[in-house]
Chains A and B, each alone.
Chain A
Amino acid sequence: MSHLGDRLSALVDGELTGAERDRASAHLAGCAQCRAEVKQLRALKQKLRSLLDGAPAEAAMTRRLISMTGPGGPLPPRRRLLRVMPGGRAEPGQGLHTSTRPGTRRPRPARRRYLFLGTVSLVVGLGTAAFTAGGGGQAVPGPRITPPVELYSVQHAIITGEVPFSGPSSRPGSHAFAPGSGAPQP
């Protein structure tokens, strides 16, 4: 005798119709093995349905997730400082709406905000760079001079009648000279 096979699950799911369902029922009446399998399938189907019926709803899941954000609970919803009512009247504490249709909101002006921030950054950066570059003395045309100290020291000694303190460092044709020896020797 051939058993129901794949038609068992179709029978359990109620997918068999007409003569096919009658033949399956007649077989079940005389086959204990197939009756046992049908019984197991129906029990399994019942368990699965009970699991799906016990799953939390979307709202319940959302509340659970929010409750997991930490101490203090979830942040309060953002409040808008100003809301323009349909008649053009501003109402404090509400959002800003420029639409004339109540309940509709235009997208945030993100591009304008980025443009503003970029402009401010550019102005501040250029100003800082200019202020830094503008430091120091006024550029003066002409030579860049390192004071010739030795040359000046010689002249200073002339007018003071004293010995130059910053003496020449390396004079050509150096000559020895000692007091009492007369003139300097080349």
Chain B
Amino acid sequence: MFALSCAASRRHQGRPPWLLAVALAVTVPGCLLTACSAPSGSPHDRTPAASGRPAAAGGPAAPASRHSSALAVSLLSQAARAGIATSYQGQEIASRWGNSGETVLTSDIWHVSGGQTVTQTVAAGTYSSGPYLSSDTDGQAPEGVLGVTMPLVRLLETHYAVVYAGPGTVVGDNNRPAQVVEAWRDDGTLAARFWLDDATKLPLEREVFDPAAHLISEDVFFNVQFGNPAPVHPPAGGVADPQGPWTDPLSPGQLLELRAHGWLVPVGLPGGLSLFAGAQTQTSNGTALDLGYSDGLSVVSVFEQRGDLAAGLSGWQKTTVDGHVIYAAVPDQRSLTWSSRGMVYTVMADAPTQTVYAAVGALPHDSPPGFWKRLSRGFARLASWVNPFR
């Protein structure tokens, strides 16, 4: 709030004096009040213009509504293509803030133009580190591009006002020149900000804010080197999925066909999340289906697998979401799972907590049985236990 108000005062420079006076009258007390009450140094409390980022904070004041600019959309599209076509390597720091606190992941990334991406986690807190070869064998869906892919850019343009915020620099990478693109919500709040390399348009940094202007994720790509110094040699046995790769993205027709086979395939989830991806893979317990939902920024993956949750899940703790008892993976609680009507649902999300909870609430859950139903079920179980011919 402090930074937002101060930024608003800065953005009004050059406007008529009376407008500046009104802005100061509103923002200065807010700045003082918030500065006295808000704890300092919490990254999660960083607001859109307080991240210490240059240039991008100097944009115009946020109006009630914005419209996407062709330049901004074009820049993001170029960035998505650059993530595939450009050869690069560097380090990426991904930070997430949620109910369980802050989670930071540092990875080395190596990508060959049109080829594979290799990711190696070098510091991940509670996570283990190990080399990891991307499942993206054709280079069409590279990882580590800060969420700037063609499908997500199209969704972003649909759900947000994508605007060009001017030139800037990436502080974490020797002030590398960048172009800044912002995504704004309809209510006039900033949702995300992208720094694109000025020369290659490769995404170098991204910040995502929730509707309350809290920073919920930050990805920074630094020590970036461009070029193609050597071809990738996939490590022996170092495939991403020992149980078999995921299929190519399913077409809309294939996804609809899955419904006929008993799979749950909603076309959307609460929060304006649209179904934009689907894939299947084989596990030791049968087929697993992944459905990807997004609005361009928030991404929720819903995994389905036939069966029932195993008893005594290790590494999961019971919690309640929207009145439903589910299990959350420890320690970061980014994964949620439960079973209902013979299907195990697992949700992974990069989205605000409210969005994740709304998505979980919209999926099937078993309601607790009534008294008589529970009693009859119990008698049936007791009878089965003492049945000698069972």
Interface residues of A (CB under 8 A from B): 126-127, 129-135, 137-149, 151-175, 177-180, 182-184, 186
Contact = CB atoms under 8 A, between A and B. Distances in A.
Contact of B121 (A141, A142, A145, A167): A167
Contacts of A165: 94, 96, 103, 105, 124, 127, 332, 334
Given A163-B94, A183-B110, A145 B375 contact: no
A167 B135 contact: no
Contacts of B376: 130, 134
Contact of B118 (A137, A143, A172, A177): A177
A134 B329 CA distance: 27
14 contacts: A129-B382, A131-B375, A138-B369, A145-B305, A152-B288, A152-B301, A155-B279, A155-B281, A163-B119, A166-B334, A167-B130, A180-B223, A183-B110, A184-B120
A144 B308 contact: yes
Interface of B: 83, 89-92, 94, 96, 103, 105, 107-110, 118-121, 124, 127-132, 134-136, 141-149, 151-152, 219, 223, 225, 229-233, 235-238, 240-241, 243, 246, 276-277, 279, 281, 283, 285-286, 288, 290, 292, 294, 299, 301, 303, 305-311, 313-315, 329, 332, 334-335, 337, 339, 341-342, 344, 346, 348, 350, 366, 369, 371, 373-379, 381-382, 385
Given A134-B376, A183-B231, A175 B299 contact: no
A134 B375 contact: yes
B83 A133 contact: no
A179 B281 CA distance: 32
B335 A143 contact: no
Contact of A152 (B90, B290, B313): B290
B110 A184 contact: yes
A141 B307 CA distance: 7
Contacts of A130: 375-376, 378-379, 381-382
Contacts of B92: 163
Nearest to A162: B147
A159 B231 CA distance: 25
A11 B110 CA distance: 138
Contact of B219 (A147, A162, A180): A162
A167 B335 contact: no
Contacts of B143: 157-158, 161-164
A183 B249 CA distance: 28
A137 B153 CA distance: 41
Contacts of B145: 161-162
B157 to A, nearest CB: 16
A82 B332 CA distance: 72
Contacts of A166: 127, 329, 334-335
A140 B238 contact: no
Q: 3 closest pairs, A vs B, by CB?
A: A134-B378, A130-B378, A172-B237
A135 B307 contact: no
Contacts of B134: 157-158
Given A154-B135, A155-B246, A158-B135, A142 B342 contact: yes
A138 B377 contact: yes
Given A147-B303, A149-B335, A154-B240, A159 B141 contact: yes
Contacts of B385: 133
B94 A162 contact: yes
Contact of B303 (A134, A152, A184): A152
A167 B129 contact: yes
Contact of A171 (B131, B231, B276): B131
A138 B366 contact: yes
A170 to B, nearest CB: 6
A161 B121 CA distance: 16
A161 B83 contact: yes
Contacts of A172: 236-238
Given A163-B109, A167-B129, A183 B382 contact: no
Contact of B313 (A146, A151, A171): A146
B348 A153 contact: yes
Contacts of A133: 377-378, 381-382, 385
Contact of A163 (B105, B148, B277): B105
Contact of B233 (A140, A156, A183): A183
Contacts of A157: 134, 143
Contact of A162 (B103, B144, B277): B144
B339 A140 contact: yes
A137 B365 CA distance: 11
Contacts of A170: 128, 130
